[in-house]
Chains A and B, each alone.
Chain A
Amino acid sequence: MKLPVNPEKIVQFKGMREPLSLQAVIKESNRCLLCFDAPCSEGCPAGTDPAKFIRQIKFYNYKGAARTIRNNNILGSVCAFVCPVEKLCEKKCSIKALEDPINISGLQRFASEYGQRFEIEPPAQSLKSEGRIAIIGGGPAGMGCASALAKMDYEVTVFERENLTGGVPRWNIPGFRLPEEALVYDVKNLISQGVEIRHKSPVETPEAVTNLLAEGYDSVFISSGLSVAFKLDMLNGYSNVTDYITFLRKVKFGNESLNLKNKNVAIIGGGSVAIDSAVSAKACGANKVYLISLEHLSELPADKEEINLARIMDIIFKSGSQITGVVENENGLSGLTGIETDWIEPGKFIPLNARQISGTEFRINIDLVVQAIGTKPGNEIMILAKGLKTIGKGIIEVNEDFETNIPGVFAGGDVVNGGATVVQAVGEGKKAAQSIDNFLKNRRTSK
Chain B
Amino acid sequence: MKFQADLGVNFCGIRFGNPFCLSSSPVGNHAEMCARAYDAGWGGIVYKTLGLEKSFKVIMPSPRLSVYNYGDKRFIGLQNAEQITDRPIRENIRDIAWLKKHYPHKVLISSIMGYVDEDWIELAKMSEDAGADMLELNFSCPQMAHKSAGHRVGQDFLAVAAFTEVVKKASKLPVMAKMTPNITNMVPVALAAKQGGADAISAINTIKAITDIDIENFTPLPNIHGHSSATGFSGPSVKPVAMRFVSDLYNSKPLGLPISAVGGIETWIDALHFLLLGATNLQVTTGILRYGYRIVEDMIEGLSDYMLERNIKSLNEIIGKSSRKIVDPSEFVTRFQVVSVIDDAKCIGCGQCYISCQDGANQAVKFDTLTRKASVDEERCIGCLLCKHVCPVWDCISINLNFHFYIHFHSISRKLRSKN
Residues of A within 8 A of B (CB): 22-23, 34, 55-56, 59-61, 63-64, 118, 120-121, 124
Contacts and interface: CB of A to CB of B under 8 A. Distances in A.
B268 A60 contact: yes
Query: Among B297, B298, B309, which residue has the most Cβ atoms of chain A within 10 A?
Result: B298
A64 B301 contact: yes
Nearest to A59: B298
Given A59-B298, A63-B301, 20 more contacts: A22-B394, A34-B291, A55-B294, A55-B298, A56-B297, A56-B298, A59-B268, A59-B302, A60-B267, A60-B298, A61-B268, A61-B301, A61-B305, A63-B302, A64-B297, A64-B302, A64-B305, A118-B309, A120-B3, A124-B1
A59 B3 contact: no
A167 B1 CA distance: 31
8 contacts: A23-B393, A59-B267, A59-B299, A60-B302, A61-B302, A64-B298, A64-B302, A121-B1
A118 B310 CA distance: 13
Interface in B1-31: 1, 3
Contacts of B268: 59-61
B305 A121 contact: no
B295 A23 contact: no
A5 to B, nearest CB: 20
Main secondary structure of the interface of B (DSSP, over half): helix
B269 interface: yes
B86 interface: no
Contacts of B393: 23
A328 B363 CA distance: 75
Interface in B250-299: 266-269, 291, 294-295, 297-299
Contacts of B297: 56, 61, 64
Contacts of A124: 1
A59 B305 contact: no
Contact of B3 (A22, A56, A118, A121): A121
B395 interface: yes
Contacts of A63: 301-302, 305
B298 A61 contact: yes
A56 B395 CA distance: 23
A23 B395 contact: yes
Nearest to A36: B292
Nearest to A31: B72
Nearest to A27: B394
A64 B301 CA distance: 7
Given A64-B302, A64-B305, A124-B1, A59 B266 contact: yes
Contacts of B295: 59
A63 B303 CA distance: 11
A333 to B, nearest CB: 50
B95 to A, nearest CB: 25
Nearest to B301: A64
A60 B301 contact: no
Contacts of A61: 268, 297-298, 301-302, 305
A5 B1 CA distance: 41
Query: Among A34, A55, A61, which residue has the most Cβ atoms of chain B within 10 A?
Result: A61
B239 to A, nearest CB: 15
B204 to A, nearest CB: 22
A121 B291 CA distance: 29
B411 to A, nearest CB: 36
Contacts of A60: 267-269, 298, 302
A250 to B, nearest CB: 39
B76 to A, nearest CB: 12
A57 to B, nearest CB: 9
Contacts of A120: 3
Contacts of B298: 55-56, 59-61, 64
Contacts of A121: 1, 3
B335 to A, nearest CB: 33
A64 B308 CA distance: 13
- What are the nearest 7 A-B pairs in CB distance? A59-B298, A61-B298, A64-B301, A61-B302, A59-B267, A63-B305, A23-B394
A61 B305 CA distance: 9
A64 B297 CA distance: 9
Contacts of B395: 23
Query: Among B266, B269, B305, B309, which residue has the most Cβ atoms of chain A within 10 A?
Result: B305
A66 to B, nearest CB: 10
Contacts of A59: 266-268, 295, 298-299, 302
Interface string B75-95: 000000000000000000000
Query: Among A22, A63, A118, which residue has the most Cβ atoms of chain B within 10 A?
Result: A63
A56 B297 CA distance: 9
B314 to A, nearest CB: 20
A64 B291 CA distance: 18
A37 to B, nearest CB: 13
